Amino acid sequence: MSAPRDATATARGGGDAHGVRAWPAAALLSLSDKTGAAEFARALAAHGTRILASGGTAAHLGEAGIAVTTVEEWTASPEMLGGRVKTLHPNVHGPILARRSVASDMATLAAQGIGPIDLVAVTLYPFEERAGGLDESGAVDEIDIGGVALLRGAAKNYADVIVIHDPLQYGAVLAALEGGGTRLEQRREWALATFARTARYDAAIAAELARRATGDVETPEPPLVHALVLERARGLRYGENPHQSAALYTRAGDSRALQALREGKELSYNNLLDVEAAVLLAWRFWAPACVIVKHNQPCGVATAAHLRDAYEAALASDEQSAYGGIVAFNRPLDGETAHRLAQQFVECVAAPEFSSDAEAALASKKNLRLLRLAQEDVAASDSWEIRLAGRWALLQYEPKTPAPEWKTVTRRAPSDAEMEAMRFAWEVVAAARSNAIAIARGTALIGLGSGQTSRVDAVDVALMKARRAGHALEGAVLASDGFFPFADNIEHAAAAGIGAIVQPGGSMRDAEVIAACDRHGMAMVFTDRRVFRH
């Protein structure tokens, strides 16, 4: 067992009445990621800090010429179970958890012949990176136990102990120590970051074990536990309304932070909701596509052989609603399209890349935000979609298997052109709020009715918007995200000149609806899959 530290060492690790702590008398390092470890330990040792380290870390520091006390020497207890138990020992956790201001705690350490450990640096086994590619036994071996216990113990006692969970923190800790000592506020901040790290680590373990438990099936059972840890990525001006504070969070550990190519005015909560909707819809299409979103609804959507033509057609969908909207492209934005776009008032433009000509064309729009975003930058990485609803949370899973084959249910089958237009409209209506109706001509949206409380209202709104924008309805197609409960929807569409309809089917009045289509010579296709989006 190590001898107790002398009075000088104890004073060196102490602090003043304001919670400032000087250079640690003893520091414990147990590092899976040893980046910068030697330099950090050398800086501590240069100020008299005794360096303690677990096996692999001790060897690494020793090779760098740094004097190290191994954990085995400190505890007088060897590692057990092939290294599964190294730091789980009272003579490790006692010196970390001892309250410096409680005389009995310090007396207990003195009776054991050990002094406090004032700094703990741990980088955990890389479970998140490795476990997915290992068999179950290998994945379990990547679960860090001792490291998490060290971090939690040190974070709990942040009043007296510095805790580090990431090599990127070494510089800030050394700067604070060299500036006269760490403050209580700093140690609390590092403790908070540490608890977030251990929460993220446990969430990754729970998610991986849940994935293995459900197996590789088409539609897995919802997990008994779904752990979600979020980290603040950036602040926002405000929430949906100016009186609401807000921030943008990402799933913990997700490195795909939102980076604006240009952000004149800071992005808002509402902007980001619209950006997500616009980008994901744009990437539903293979051809060059443009999507314009306003208030989380698509008001302009089109595909074309050239990006400028797609933009022109999307703008023509509903130019009135497009004013001040969010525009997304699924191709790099070129100068010609950007020059045309610069003539409109838009809040944000998202594209996978921006040409130098495009940036120049938009340079005069000082408040316009340019976001370099592709589908993978926006789409959730988790297979389970989560929606918070008050005190509840809802999880749902989208199967990866192909959707059912569409089937014609009317006497007249749709033409090839109608079928192409219906497939386009189906993608649009699937991205709109239910009840939703999308009317398309070719691969351009010409009318959208969404968020309505009755389906016939959704039809009427879509028709109204198409007429308001001056679109010809004769021969257009219509897509519905849910089945038609009554034939009145068909009568309204037929009166406007709609030629073909795609819908899920499944109503108890399907026969009446089909008969109405047949009377008007319309084609109707069933998808056998509903695409509600509440």
Q: Are 95 and 26 in contact (CB under 8 A)?
A: yes
Q: Are 360 and 335 in contact (CB under 8 A)?
A: yes
Q: Could you give the angle at the alpha carbon of 453 between the alpha carbons of 452 and 457, nearest 5°? A: 60
Q: Looking at residue 392, what DSSP letter applies?
A: E
How many C-beta atoms surround the C-beta of residue 524 within 10 A? 27
- Could you say which of 156, 226, 306, 520 is catalytic? 156
Q: Are 130 and 39 in contact (CB under 8 A)?
A: no
State how far Cα 490 lies from the chain centre: 41
Q: Could you give the angle at the alpha carbon of 506 between the alpha carbons of 505 and 510, nearest 5°? A: 75
* SS3 of residue 126 by DSSP: coil
Residue for token pair 């975003």: 373
Whether 93 is a known active-site residue: answer no
Residue 408, strand partner residues? 525
The token pair at 221 is 């059972």
Q: Could you give the angle at the alpha carbon of 411 between the alpha carbons of 405 and 413, nearest 5°? A: 50
Residue for token pair 């908070």: 192
Summary count for the chain: helices (H), strands (E):
21, 21
| Closest-CA residue to 119 (of 155, 171, 77, 72) | 155
| Closest-CA residue to 111 (of 82, 136, 90) | 90
Whether 295 is a known active-site residue: answer yes
Q: Are 265 and 283 in contact (CB under 8 A)?
A: no
Max distance between CA atoms of the chain, in angstroms, equals 99
| Closest-CA residue to 439 (of 456, 463, 420, 455) | 463
* DSSP character string of 409-436: -SSSPPPHHHHHHHHHHHHHHHTSPSS-
The token pair at 477 is 């197609």
| Closest-CA residue to 435 (of 409, 462, 408) | 462
Residue 119, strand partner residues? 27, 162
Q: Looking at residue 149, what DSSP letter applies?
A: H
- Could you say which of 34, 89, 226, 295 is catalytic? 295
Q: Are 372 and 353 in contact (CB under 8 A)?
A: yes
Active site positions, annotated: 156, 295
